[in-house]
Amino acid sequence: MTFGFAPAAAPTPAAANRLLEPAEWAAAGIPLLRNPREVVSGLHARHHPQPATAVLAVLDPDERLRASASFVRRPAPADGWMFRNVLLAQLRRIIPHDLRRRTPVRTAVLLYCREGDARWTAEDGAWMWGLRDACTLHGLRCGAYITLTRDGWQVLGEGRGGRRPHSGSEPEPFATSEAPPPAPRAGGAASEILRRAAAAR
């Protein structure tokens, strides 16, 4: 699903209450990613996000990607309630809910590619509010919120980040964790010995 692009606008007074500051986000107990660069690189390679593109991903307990979707931000003021609705619609489209579970086992993370530098903005706060609420309504754990700017990527509320990928970089090859193990080489003395041993059985 793709929406139009508009520069970030200041939130309305009502929408200003539907955002989270970095300190509030850090205090919410958001689970840390074990390997954030691998997650970021994998999503960047899969979706090739440009500024104003959000990438929503659902990870299993081992941080393997189970589902993902990307979409472009709608031209409207930043509002956590609106972002929550968009994220919830995407979650319903890509993966069944986990509302019947006593405790969530899958985690949703959000990567948002935007203009500007890596510092927190009110728009980021609205995305954080929306992600947390959408996860609750879909029975998922709320995971990391990551920005992708010209400076690189940043996991907000954690202080972890890196220079690559960034908003203008070419996609890297898929993360090695998603690639199948290399096939053994055929031929050579070792394979000939194994072939003879198998034939003798």
The pair phi, psi for residue 94, each rounded to 5°, is: -105, -20
Alpha helices in 139-173 (DSSP H): none
CB 143 within 8 A of CB 33: yes
- The tens place of each residue's pLDDT in the chain, 201 residues long, gives 433 333 444 555 555 678 999 889 988 889 899 999 999 999 999 999 999 999 999 999 999 999 999 999 988 889 999 999 999 999 999 999 988 888 899 999 999 999 998 899 999 999 999 999 999 999 999 999 999 999 999 999 888 889 999 988 887 665 433 443 334 444 444 444 444 444 444
- Secondary structure (3-state) at 132: helix
For residue 13, what pLDDT is reported? Answer: 56
For residue 173, what pLDDT is reported? Answer: 62
Return the CA Rg of the chain.
Answer: 20
CA 28, 29, 33, 39 dihedral sign is: negative
Q: Which helix (H) or strand (E) holds 154?
A: strand 152-155
Spatial CB neighbours of 44, under 8 Å, sequence gap ≥ 6: 111, 148, 165, 169, 171, 172
For residue 197, what pLDDT is reported? Answer: 44
For residue 15, what pLDDT is reported? Answer: 59
Q: Cis link prior to 7 (omega < 30° from 0)?
A: no
User: What is the rounded distance in angstroms from the CA atom of residue 172 to the CA atom of residue 128?
Assistant: 27
For residue 194, what pLDDT is reported? Answer: 40
For residue 17, what pLDDT is reported? Answer: 75
